[in-house]
Amino acid sequence: MWIYLNDRFVDRKEAMVSVFDHGFLYGDGVYETLRTYGGRFFMLPQHLARLQRSARLIGLSVPVPEQDWPSLLREAVDRNGLTEAHLRITLSRGEGELGLDPALCPHPTLVVMARPIAQYPAHLFQEGVPLVLATTRRNLATALPPQIKSLNFLNNILAKREAGQAGAFDALMLNAEGLLTECTTSNFFFVSGGCLYTPAVDCGLLDGITREVVLTLAREAGIPVEEGRYPAECLAHADEAFLTNTSMELMPVRSLDGAPIGSGRPGPLTQKLRTLFRANIARFLG
């Protein structure tokens, strides 16, 4: 496996980061994930823009010029012999002496990894996945803005532990007001009365790229869409639910805390949107 580290590609065994790196010591950094279909990068400008936004919001310079990213990422995919690839760009504050002051780190650390895209078992899409409602609340947006795709992931990890302990696929998180936000690595949608609902970004969630694609496809198909502020109790009357992110695309949800959502099976609107998403990918591939 070839990994891009700072200014060159190195073998996985040589991809070493200092123990004084502030990403390791303090979680001081940002990251971005994206994927390819048939070797082609999907929504690349949007992902790179989000990386730049995350870095800007923490005062971190991106060491690769915007025009150089496509060739760098292409080499990461090609060196690893991939066509269906999952890429992660990690940018930390860099190596420096102990202390929180960003000025201690003169140069950021950049890592680019390209791996085969995760293949979720087909039965999950056919049956849907179980969720639990996490007791861990989403970080306050005023404390750590969710528009920063940060290396600080302990909040989500604690929620993911809750899911694992309950035997669930993932955990659905609430904000400090008790309103729905997102799962640990995916955005959340639900359907009620033929309308598609998803928590608004200002509830404290990351504006996922796949989330935006789904919202666009739904509106183009004439499906009523609403982004808003919803308490968890509204899911007792939901007909369907699903998750979105880069690797799983649209994942149906069958239950929450052991109670079925709707029929407890992937619903017709979820299936329609999955079909529309796959058709969008087919158009993308030409």
Please check whether residues 81 and 192 belong to one and the same domain: no
Please check whether residues 39 and 76 belong to one and the same domain: yes
Number of domains in the chain: 2
* SS3 state at 200: coil
Please check whether residues 15 and 127 belong to one and the same domain: no
Please check whether residues 93 and 134 belong to one and the same domain: no
Distance CA 226, CA 231 (A): 14
Please check whether residues 105 and 130 belong to one and the same domain: no
Residue type, 50: R
User: To which H or E segment does residue 161 belong?
Assistant: helix 154-166
Distance CA 105, CA 94 (A): 6
Tell me how far the alpha carbon of residue 158 is from its chain's centroid: 17
Please check whether residues 66 and 170 belong to one and the same domain: no
Active site residue 160: no
Please check whether residues 112 and 178 belong to one and the same domain: no
Please check whether residues 176 and 60 belong to one and the same domain: no
Beta bridge partners of 134: none
Contact between 131 and 168 under an 8 Å Cβ cutoff? The reply is yes
Please check whether residues 128 and 107 belong to one and the same domain: no
89: which residues sit within 8 A by CB, 6+ positions away? Answer: 31, 32, 33, 34, 51, 110, 111, 112
Please check whether residues 167 and 145 belong to one and the same domain: yes
Please check whether residues 40 and 84 belong to one and the same domain: yes
Model's pTM, two decimal places?
0.95
Domain containing 165 equals: 123-285
Domain with residue 6: its CATH number is: 3.30.470.10
What pLDDT tens digit does each residue of the chain (286 aa) get? 999 999 999 999 999 999 999 999 999 999 999 999 999 999 999 999 999 999 999 999 999 999 999 999 999 999 999 999 999 999 999 999 999 999 999 999 999 999 999 899 999 999 999 999 999 999 999 999 999 999 999 999 999 999 999 999 999 999 999 999 999 999 999 999 999 999 999 999 999 999 999 999 999 999 999 999 999 999 999 999 999 999 999 999 999 999 999 999 999 999 999 999 999 999 998 8
Among residues 13, 149, 160, 272, which one is catalytic? 149
Query: 69-79 and 44-57 are packed helices; what angle lies between their axes, rounded to 10 degrees?
Result: 110
Domain with residue 162: its CATH number is: 3.20.10.10
- Which of these three, 81, 116, 151, is where a domain ends? 116
